[in-house]
Chains A and B, each alone.
Chain A
Amino acid sequence: MTSYTDIFGKKGRVEDMELYLGAGDVNEQLARYGVKFGIYKNNEFKEQLFPFDMIPRVIDNKEFGYLEKGLKQRVTALNLFIEDIYGEKRIVKDGVVPEEFIYAGSGYLSQCEGIRPPKGIYSHISGIDLVQGKNGEWYILEDNLRIPSGASYPMIAREISRRSSPDLFKGKHIEDNRNYAELLRRTMDHVSVGGHTVILTPGRYNAAYFEHSYLAEKTGAHLVSGSELIVENDHLYFIDYSGRKEKVGAVYRRISDEYLDPMNFNRESVIGIPHIFDIYRKGNVALINAPGNGVADDKGIYYFVPKMISYYLGEEPILSNAPTYLPYYEEDMKYVLEHFDDLVLKDVAEAGGYGVVFGNKMTREEKGKFIEMLKAEPRRFIAQEVIDFLDIDIIEKGQLLPRKADLRAFVLMADEPMVWKSGLTRFSRNPDSFIVNSSQGGGFKDTWVLSQ
């Protein structure tokens, strides 16, 4: 296990460290560049700065090599799974994944049945959330295969940190993470069917708007809204201001499946593009990521990912899941009821840190109610052992404080899977909280991967 102290030397006085890290400058610069995310409070849109902590998470070369292998393996298997589900369904036939977990969840979209996207790639950009336990072991917490966000934050933080404290980076052999734009560009170009590449945003009132616009700038793709694109004669076009129609070959869409096309999904959507899904079905445009990926990143399906790896690849999973129980299975239900207080329970339908409850934090009454619900709808929940996270130091008000943190690793699929040599490290600002989601007030750190 490598820590920042291995890089910076022993912990000194906090003030010295703040100075060394260029503390004040970086956050000021992030504000200057508008590094924000939007949130809705009392129905009002507000932009918030995403607090940056300058102590990086450091992962040494060997350890990252191990993560890289495991992540590639996992994402490769997940892609095969999605292809199988919308095609042959061998894994169901062979009884590895019970049918119910596919069709009764909200992630499966029957509209995608039988569609094979360009180059057979479904999850072009995967955000895999991991945590490191006190024992040094890494665990996968969650797969995000729809529209995982967050890569832009460490990208720009690195850019600024290198400017504000160049000495910090001298002779440290840190992988440059600003190549994310190149990886993304390569990923988009690989599946493009010819024409422009665009990033489709729901608009500036989306939580991740900064990221949409920043990635557009850095990849040279055009940032567009749905109203600027039109389907005609089986192809997708961007309408230029002079009225000229420019063909679009790949859409990195940051709009969820539901709103993508009012003719095929939510009929009320005004941010989507009518009939885009129909020409996608014909293979005339690449959608990044493919619609319907939700079938593979459902919290219920998570349990089966290690089994998928063995099933499709014939390999042992390199990275482990957090120990998980599926009350759907009788013996697991029994275990969950017996060890209720030691477990964290998650509603498979909820995301963003919502629908997560800790057994030992419930009152007697709450517990009774919950167990009733669990017995009525066992498929709706998973239970996990509470992992003893390795804390990471942050600096707050001149003090070093240990906080829970996770790591979102990004795996991009072009002609081969590529793992971005960095990642988004999110921490909880509340010392008692295990939930590190940015929509719940967390902050972020840069992730340094050592090149030797």
Chain B
Amino acid sequence: MGIISVENTDRLYWLGRYTERVYSTIRIFEARFDSMIDVDDLEYKAFCESQDIPNVYKSKEDFSKRYCFSLEDENSIISNLMRAYDNAIVLREEIGSDTLSYIQLAVYAMNQAAISKAPLIGLQKVTDNIAAFWGMADDAIDESSIRNMIRVGKLVERIDLYARLKEPSERIRREARRLTNRIDKSTMRYSPKILAHVNYLVQLDELPYETLIESVEKLVGDNS
């Protein structure tokens, strides 16, 4: 087994989280955008609330533009993609140039989408590349702990996001199960106590979303 530093395990985890965040928020954005076309003008307000981000947008047009493409907006999709990129760029040796190139391509696709007349189509190329990145990560990275560190980040982010969107508990339970299967293989430091707590929470009939978010955020790392 190769050697890997604390900084880089941390980066792999966050690479998983940010790619998931970008992927899922693009998906969610697409759905919201659809209903904003002719149904509800103010849909984005509810969206901001669910994501726990300040609603700094003036209109749905402003929201569409800045939430997707503004680097000044720290909650925007592009800002999250750049965070994924910042983590990936220093992991070339761990994940390989080929796998890394899909993150680079996602960044190019994002910049293209920003100036495109059909940003939704452009954003699809971003998700295509992220999906390809995950596929490559699974296929081309030999070290199973590295693959699983990215996976763990991805699943933690997903549970977090689903909980914020108050998704049905069945969906969240499924992700929690997958996370439980993965986390030991990642060899990352995590708190078994918190993992047990997460698993307990997702079994409850009335899922306490806030508590779950708090819990899952603390699962990995030294803050246990």
Contact = CB atoms under 8 A, between A and B. Distances in A.
A394 B189 CA distance: 53
A230 to B, nearest CB: 11
B187 A242 contact: yes
A240 B3 contact: yes
B103 to A, nearest CB: 9
A246 B92 contact: no
Given A204-B90, A223-B93, A241 B101 contact: no
Contacts of B89: 34, 204, 209, 213
A216 B93 contact: yes
Given A238-B3, A241-B6, A242-B187, A213 B104 contact: no
Contact of B3 (A31, A33, A216, A246): A246
A239 interface: yes
Contact of A240 (B4, B86, B92, B108): B4
Interface string B81-96: 0000010011011001
A216 B94 CA distance: 10
A240 B104 contact: no
B144 to A, nearest CB: 15
Interface in A207-226: 209, 213-214, 216-217, 222-225
B90 A214 contact: no
A155 B187 CA distance: 35
A111 interface: no
Interface string A229-260: 00000000011111000100000000000000
Nearest to A199: B93
A240 B105 contact: no
Contacts of A242: 187, 189
Contacts of B9: 241
Given A34-B100, A222-B3, A240-B3, A213 B105 contact: no
A439 interface: no
Given A34-B100, A217-B97, A242-B187, A223 B4 contact: no
User: Which of B5, B86, B90, B105 has the most A CB atoms < 10 Å from its CB?
Assistant: B5
B8 A213 contact: no
A196 interface: yes
B92 A217 contact: yes
B5 A240 contact: yes
Interface string B6-49: 11110000000000000000000000000000000000000000
**B-side interface size class:** 20 to 34
A222 B104 contact: no
A76 to B, nearest CB: 32
A239 B3 CA distance: 9
A388 interface: no
Contacts of B104: 31-34
B93 A34 contact: no
A316 interface: no
Nearest to B1: A240
A224 B90 CA distance: 10
B97 A222 contact: no
Interface in B102-136: 104-105, 108
Contact of B5 (A204, A213, A239): A239
B5 A228 contact: yes
User: Which of B6, B8, B86, B97 has the most A CB atoms < 10 Å from its CB?
Assistant: B97
B2 A216 contact: no
A224 B2 CA distance: 13
Nearest to A219: B93
Contact of B7 (A196, A222, A225): A225
Contacts of B92: 213-214, 216-217, 223
Interface string A80-106: 000000000000000000000000000
Contacts of B96: 217
B91 to A, nearest CB: 8
A202 B189 CA distance: 27
B7 A34 contact: no
Query: 7 shortest A-B CB distances, which residue pairs?
Result: A213-B92, A216-B93, A241-B9, A228-B5, A241-B6, A223-B93, A34-B104
Interface of A: 31-34, 196, 204, 209, 213-214, 216-217, 222-225, 227-228, 238-242, 246
16 contacts: A32-B101, A32-B105, A32-B108, A33-B97, A33-B104, A34-B101, A196-B3, A213-B93, A223-B92, A223-B93, A224-B5, A239-B6, A241-B4, A241-B8, A241-B189, A242-B187
